[in-house]
């Protein structure tokens, strides 16, 4: 009988095969992944599914008893268009609704507000009143359908509209089933669709906890979201730690407002991103359940349901590529499998074209069917936690638990997540990770197939969904006017006054903001009116981006192409007598600022003088800032489909000011079909998803008159 080989013998054989190369994988999370795991690496017992600490799943039977809910996130244009889309998807096998609202709605503006001309209906459905909400769910019985709504800033009017729409459909609010995101802390960190400052925003969350715990026993009052953190550049450890810490903060606020922890904690849910690091994502969901059980025990929960982390997941948007986009079908499939193997309760799969536009019916069907095929054809759902006991998965789960706990402990030692967010260090940590990731991609250290390796010589254009923003806005304004004309104005104003007074007073059952907003919604107050009533007491919040420094440039030390760009910037500086100056502008109501921050950081590291404009500017405000700052170039960052409205308006206003010489470039989520439209409008450089930032800088130098050498073959490789 042959002796069993030892680990040392394996190590010797592997080392010989790879000629001594170190096979350890040093991940972005700071975790060193070994090439082989054995039983000795498993230091904890994961237990059994359905039992504390729920490492292996929150239900004993998991998918063998019932698969996860297929819940596709969608919403665009008008309530009528979105309703038709929902009904088609439900007929084709979708099990729950997940509503995407447009940016005007997110930010508490009615569609007729002058600040949202380019945003209405573009990246979600426009909802201005109860009438829109009723149309959105027309023919969809709200006592039988679980509805998830991604809403944070304007959460009070949207939830009030939903409650009243249910009532007028004949459904008591006690029967309403679903989830409202209601997670404002992550908005202050990464997504930025906030309205009010942090303190009143936390009061809103507490009031929603109180109302739903009393009135809506089937409804989840918050979905604590890490998704947007990973999309903004966070590592999985950062996403995990900050999401759990956010959840702890919300529980503390709920308890401080007088709620029994075990009366509301069981209705909390979570929302995580699932990216391309397959086993890391599986381990992350398992680690999240361990950490939440630990956190809730610490906070005093007694009921095991209060300690049970239930989560929705969505495949990554940032992993999708404009280049060779059919690869995105495979990416989404891999990510969906990771979510399933990690034990999610519901899942949204992104469509192949979402790197550049809203999904078409064709691409949405492929995305939805990805989940159906996994459920129906693969046999994956027949076994509970099939990766439980894997040496690698169990060891990686524990490493993630330990690494995330260190960050959570820091948050708690500094007074909790609200104070950490106010101090700004979580946001800075995520932006640093984002800049480092972009540098690795641009250098080719992190491979993205079809983007920085195996790139196609010629790209086929995808047919994309295009929303007629002007037509949608015109229709919404007509409905707003009709709603106002038909309402009892005195009753509406009385309800708005009661809400205004409630916001000015202390939180209580009588002064509950959601309860007061429900009365205003019944009286046909609009979303903008309800938001403004609270804004009079709470004020409107804004922040100024502060790009990180040195992170993007550090990996490029000694790189020939990087040095060419540095030399080019220096040459332009000698000619102009100052550094070339770039304004990074975010126009419209889109708060996703990862791309803008990465560009600002990278161009700063390359020697440009960079001005980071505030979020939510109008084209006119951007022109004023450009003139005051004396910039040479305005870089318009667009991720929410407003580029065909906002960027031409910017160029027109620069010309009106006599500064048509200022170059305008555009980057972000822009369909290639729109490139010529923007060029005709005067855009001089367009850089879509997957663009190499160093090459973008080289192109900007050419626009400024510097004879920048082209990328040679060796550098391209």
Please name every residue paired with 33 in a beta bridge, in sequence order, or none if there are none. Answer: 25
Token pair in block for residue 656: 């009106």
**Strands across the sheet containing 663-668:** 609-612, 581-585, 633-638, 663-668, 685-687
Answer yes or no: are the C-beta atoms of 669 and 639 closer than 8 Å.
yes
Answer yes or no: are the C-beta atoms of 664 and 654 closer than 8 Å.
yes
Token pair in block for residue 465: 């969904």
List Cβ neighbours of 391 (8 Å cut-off, separation of 6 or more): 37, 38, 39, 41, 42
Token pair in block for residue 436: 């480092």
Answer yes or no: are the C-beta atoms of 716 and 561 closer than 8 Å.
no
Token pair in block for residue 281: 């994502």
Residue 547 has a CB neighbour count (10 Å cut-off) of 22
List Cβ neighbours of 168 (8 Å cut-off, separation of 6 or more): 130, 134
Token match 């903001």: residue?
513
Helix 594-605 and helix 693-703, axial crossing angle in degrees, nearest 10: 70
Residue 506, SS3? coil
List Cβ neighbours of 457 (8 Å cut-off, separation of 6 or more): none
Please name every residue paired with 636 in a beta bridge, in sequence order, or none if there are none. Answer: 585, 666
Helix (H) or strand (E) holding 477: helix 469-486
Residue 214, SS3? helix
Give one DSSP letter per residue of 58-102, joined into a string.
SSSSHHHHSPPEEEEEE--B-HHHHHHHHHHHHHTT--EEEEEBP
Q: What is the C-alpha to C-alpha distance for residues 31 and 406, in angstroms, rounded to an integer?
A: 13
Token pair in block for residue 401: 């638990």
Residue 237 has a CB neighbour count (10 Å cut-off) of 26
Q: What is the C-alpha to C-alpha distance for residues 194 and 228, in angstroms, rounded to an integer?
A: 14
Residues making up the chain, counted from first to last: 717
Report how far Cα 357 is from the mean position of its chain's Cα atoms: 15
Q: What is the C-alpha to C-alpha distance for residues 558 and 312, in angstroms, rounded to an integer?
A: 44
* Catalytic residue positions, numbered: 73, 227-228, 586, 590, 592
Residue 386 has a CB neighbour count (10 Å cut-off) of 15
Please name every residue paired with 585 in a beta bridge, in sequence order, or none if there are none. Answer: 636
Helix (H) or strand (E) holding 399: helix 391-413
């Amino acid at each position: 009988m042959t002796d069993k080989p030892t680990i040392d013998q394996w190590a010797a054989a592997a080392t010989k095969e790879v000629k001594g190369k170190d096979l350890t994988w040093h991940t972005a999370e700071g975790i060193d992944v070994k090439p082989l795991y054995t039983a000795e690496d498993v230091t904890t017992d994961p237990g059994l599914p359905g039992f504390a600490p729920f490492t292996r799943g929150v239900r004993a039977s998991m998918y063998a008893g019932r698969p996860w809910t297929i819940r596709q996130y969608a919403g665009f244009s008008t309530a009528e268009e979105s309703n038709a889309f929902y009904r088609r998807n439900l007929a084709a096998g979708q099990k729950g609704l997940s509503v995407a609202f447009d940016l005007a709605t997110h930010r508490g503006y009615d569609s007729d507000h002058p600040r949202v001309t380019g945003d209405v209906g573009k990246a979600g459905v426009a909802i201005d009143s109860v009438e829109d909400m009723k149309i959105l769910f027309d023919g969809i019985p709200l006592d039988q359908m679980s509805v998830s709504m991604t809403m944070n800033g304007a959460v009070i009017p949207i939830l009030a509209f939903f409650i009243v729409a249910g009532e007028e459909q004949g459904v008591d609010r006690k029967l309403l089933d679903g989830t409202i995101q209601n997670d404002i802390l992550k908005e202050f960190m990464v997504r930025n669709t906030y309205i009010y400052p942090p303190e009143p925003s936390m009061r809103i969350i507490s009031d929603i906890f109180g109302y739903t715990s009393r009135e809506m026993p089937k409804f989840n009052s918050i979905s604590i979201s890490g998704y947007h953190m990973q999309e903004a550049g966070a590592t999985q450890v950062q996403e995990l730690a900050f999401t759990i810490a956010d959840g702890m903060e919300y529980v503390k606020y709920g308890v401080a407002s007088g709620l029994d922890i075990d009366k509301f904690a069981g209705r909390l849910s979570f929302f995580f991103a699932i990216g391309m690091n397959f086993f890391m994502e599986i381990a992350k969901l398992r680690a999240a359940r361990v950490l939440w059980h630990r956190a809730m025990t610490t906070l005093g929960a007694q009921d095991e349901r209060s300690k049970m982390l239930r989560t929705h997941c969505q495949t990554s948007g940032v992993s999708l590529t404009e280049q060779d986009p059919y690869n995105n079908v495979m990416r989404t499939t891999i990510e969906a499998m990771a979510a399933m193997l990690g034990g999610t309760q519901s899942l949204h799969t992104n469509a192949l074209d979402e790197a550049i536009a809203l999904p078409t019916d064709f691409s949405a069907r492929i995305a939805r069917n990805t989940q159906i095929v996994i459920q129906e054809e693969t046999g994956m759902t027949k076994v509970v936690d099939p990766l439980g006991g894997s040496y690698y998965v169990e060891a990686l789960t524990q490493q993630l638990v330990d690494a995330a706990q260190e960050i959570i402990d820091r948050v708690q030692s500094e007074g909790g997540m609200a104070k950490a967010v106010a101090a700004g260090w979580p946001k800075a940590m995520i932006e640093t990770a984002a800049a480092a990731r972009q540098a690795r991609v641009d250098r080719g250290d992190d491979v993205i197939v079809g983007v920085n390796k195996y790139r196609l010589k010629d790209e086929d254009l995808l047919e994309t969904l295009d929303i007629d923003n002007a037509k949608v806005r015109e229709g919404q304004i007509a409905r707003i006017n009709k709603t106002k004309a038909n309402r009892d104005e005195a009753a509406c104003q009385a309800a708005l006054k009661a809400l205004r007074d409630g916001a000015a007073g202390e939180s209580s059952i009588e002064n509950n903001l959601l309860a007061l907003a429900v009365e205003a919604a019944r009286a046909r107050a609009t979303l903008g009116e309800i938001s403004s009533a609270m804004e009079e007491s709470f004020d409107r919040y804004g922040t100024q981006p502060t790009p990180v420094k040195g992170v993007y440039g550090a990996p490029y030390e000694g790189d020939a192409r990087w040095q060419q760009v540095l030399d080019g910037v220096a040459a332009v500086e000698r000619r102009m007598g100052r550094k070339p100056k770039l304004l990074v502008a975010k126009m419209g109501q889109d708060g996703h600022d990862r791309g803008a921050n990465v560009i600002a950081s990278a161009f700063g590291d390359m020697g440009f003088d960079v001005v980071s404009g505030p979020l939510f500017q109008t084209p006119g405000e951007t022109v004023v800032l450009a003139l005051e700052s004396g910039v040479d170039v305005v870089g318009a960052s667009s991720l929410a489909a407003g580029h065909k409205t906002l960027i031409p308006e910017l160029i027109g206003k620069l010309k009106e000011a006599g500064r048509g010489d200022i170059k305008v470039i555009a980057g972000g989520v822009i369909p290639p079909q729109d490139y010529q439209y923007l060029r005709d409008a005067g855009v001089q450089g367009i850089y879509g998803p997957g663009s190499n930032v160093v090459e973008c800088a080289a192109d900007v130098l050419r626009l400024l008159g510097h004879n920048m050498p082209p990328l040679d073959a060796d550098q391209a490789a």
